[in-house]
Structure 1
Amino acid sequence: MRIAVAGGTGLVGQYVVEELTAAGHEPVVLARSRGVDLVSGAGLDSVMAGVEAVVDVSNLQTTGAKKSIAFFESVSQNLLAAGARVGVRHHVVLSIVGLERVGFGYYQGKLRQEEVVARGEGVGGGGGRAGAVPWTVLRATQFHEFPLQVLDRVPGPVAVVPRMRTQPVAAREVAQHLVGLVLGPPQGMAPELAGPRVEELVDMARRLVRARGRRRLLLPVRMPGATGRAMAEGGNLPAGPGARGSQTFDEWLAENVVHVAKRA
């Protein structure tokens, strides 16, 4: 099957491409480096011919609601419209656990993405036809790479780490789950995916610093307002039953950070 992967050069996207290839399918990477602008839609039609399904793991680096909403709205509408033109049978989106409970700016864009997909916006002249492209949304918890991203965002001897409870999952396991979903029937909102163990973000960051063989002062800070309270009190944890990954954060550290640090 020919399957488009929006954001196929990113963290999860690369794993999705690998999993699809290993399973004998033909992934089509949709990314700027491959001549496709997901925001404007430029280049989409030329690569979508013969595509039967789409996995959208596109992303951007922002904490602002306005930029996040604009990005995910445009990308989703363009993908749905292009998919409808070629008869895509399944549109799968990766989202985040706890969007409604944690009012983070970036999350508002993901909520808008879910809305666009569920309503079929952008299909049929932009009027929005629910069910025009059958869909599945998978909400997953933060990846094991999350504390690495937090620490590397601001280099230096001191790092501010938000107080946050999470149940991190391996990015590769997320990709495997997405591939399983896209090859199956559309589900609408799929059961949430999380990792095997609840963690505190600051504890994960401390273990990461040690695993890298470095010294760095970490300052746990509770984000202000309702958002900070929700993050600290478990708003990002799964609220119901669903699949659970098998790799723990410590196992991920041993495989991806400790061995690399020893070789360096």
Structure 2
Amino acid sequence: MRVAVLGASGLIGRDVTAVLSGRGHEVIALTRASGVDAYTGAGLDAALAGVDVIVDAVNSPLQETAAVRDFFGTVAARVRAAAARAGVRHIVLLSIIGIDDTTAGHYAGKLAQEHAYLEGTVPVRILRAAQFHEFTEMMLNWTTVGDTATVPRMRTQLVNARTVAERLADLALAAEAPARLELAGPEALDLVTAVRALAERLGAPARVLESTDDTVPDAALQAGGGLLPGPAAELAGPDFAAWLDEHHPAG
């Protein structure tokens, strides 16, 4: 099968590419480096010639709500139109658990992306995943000032990035599949607990605090478990402790 991967140079995109290639399929990387700009549509039609399935694992560093909604919504509209012209069988989209009631930032952008894809004629299979284990590393990078990191209060069920990539590949290759699935790790925990464990393993920062600013958009949703998986979700390991031992072994 010929599968185009949007965001092939990113964390999940790299793993999806590796999984699909390892199963003997041809992967077409849709990246700016390969001459494709999904936001403007440049290069999309040529890149999708002969493609059977698209996996959208694109990400964005944008956080301002209007900008991130515009980015994800525009990319989805460009890709769905090009996919229809190319005769693509279906599109597989990586999204996030619990975003239906979000109003701001990255989560609101992903919701706009889902809606934009569903407005098209090409069937879409959505994999809503929990935050990845690597999210803890991102939190340290984003929030550390001096010897202190401050992370938002959040209940989450961290999942392994490679496991997410494998499920995306499964959805891409399956003749039949549900329109939406949820995938999460095996244990629910407070994000601050995981980030503290990572900081202790790394030896810095010295303190990891939890933010309790309820004026931040969607703060109550995150703190109250709104991003936890539903009862029908697939739960898959490894858990965070196993990931930590693999990627940041104790010295």
TM-score range, shorter chain: over 0.9
Q: Which moved more, 1:51-60 or 1:210-219?
A: 210-219
CA contact (8 A) 2:133 2:160 kept: yes
Distance in 2 (CA, whole Å) between partners of 1:24 and 1:89 is 19
Render the CA deviation track for 1:153-194: whole Å, top value 9, x for unaligned: 144311111110100100000000010011114546322111
Distance in 2 (CA, whole Å) between partners of 1:112 and 1:222 is 27
SS in 1 for 2:77: helix
1:139, distance to aligned residue in structure 2 (A): 0.6
1:218 aligns with one of 208, 232, 241? 208
Give the aligned residue type for 2:42. Answer: A
Whether 2:228 is the aligned partner of 1:237: answer: yes
Distance in 2 (CA, whole Å) between partners of 1:58 and 1:102 is 20
Distance in 1 (CA, whole Å) between partners of 2:9 and 2:134 is 16
Give the aligned residue type for 1:87. Answer: G
SS in 1 for 2:33: helix
Corresponding residue for 1:88?
A: 88
CA contact (8 A) 1:135 1:186 kept: no
SS in 1 for 2:91: strand
1:5, distance to aligned residue in structure 2 (A): 0.3
Structure 1's unaligned 5+ residue stretches are 121-131
1:224, distance to aligned residue in structure 2 (A): 2.3
CA contact (8 A) 2:95 2:126 kept: yes
Whether 2:57 is the aligned partner of 1:68: answer: no
Would you say how many aligned residue pairs link Structure 1 and Structure 2? 249
With over 3 angstroms needed to count, the CA separation of the structure-2 counterparts of 1:223 and 1:175, relative to structure 1, is farther
CA contact (8 A) 2:102 2:108 kept: no
Please show how residues 155-170 of structure 1 align to structure 2 within 5 Å: 155=144, 156-170=146-160
Whether 2:178 is the aligned partner of 1:193: answer: no
Corresponding residue for 2:174?
A: 184
Corresponding residue for 1:228?
A: 219
1:77, distance to aligned residue in structure 2 (A): 1.0
SS in 2 for 1:192: strand
Render the CA deviation track for 1:87-127: whole Å, top value 9, x for unaligned: 1001010100010234332211111111111110xxxxxxx
Give the aligned residue type for 1:194. Answer: A
1:227, distance to aligned residue in structure 2 (A): 1.4
With over 3 angstroms needed to count, the CA separation of the structure-2 counterparts of 1:112 and 1:252, relative to structure 1, is same
Distance in 1 (CA, whole Å) between partners of 2:155 and 2:249 is 24
Give the aligned residue type for 1:99. Answer: I
1:257, distance to aligned residue in structure 2 (A): 1.6
1:244, distance to aligned residue in structure 2 (A): 1.2
With over 3 angstroms needed to count, the CA separation of the structure-2 counterparts of 1:54 and 1:148, relative to structure 1, is same
Corresponding residue for 1:248?
A: 239
SS in 2 for 1:39: coil
Corresponding residue for 1:111?
A: 111
Corresponding residue for 1:123?
A: none
Please show how residues 94-105 of structure 1 align to structure 2 within 5 Å: 94-105=94-105
Aligned-pair Cα RMSD in Å: 1.5
Whether 2:142 is the aligned partner of 1:153: answer: yes
* TM-score, scaled to structure 1: 0.90
CA contact (8 A) 1:223 1:229 kept: no
SS in 1 for 2:234: coil
Structure 2's unaligned 5+ residue stretches are none
Render the CA deviation track for 1:66-104: whole Å, top value 9, x for unaligned: 111111111111111111111100101010001023433
CA contact (8 A) 2:8 2:29 kept: yes
Whether 2:249 is the aligned partner of 1:258: answer: yes
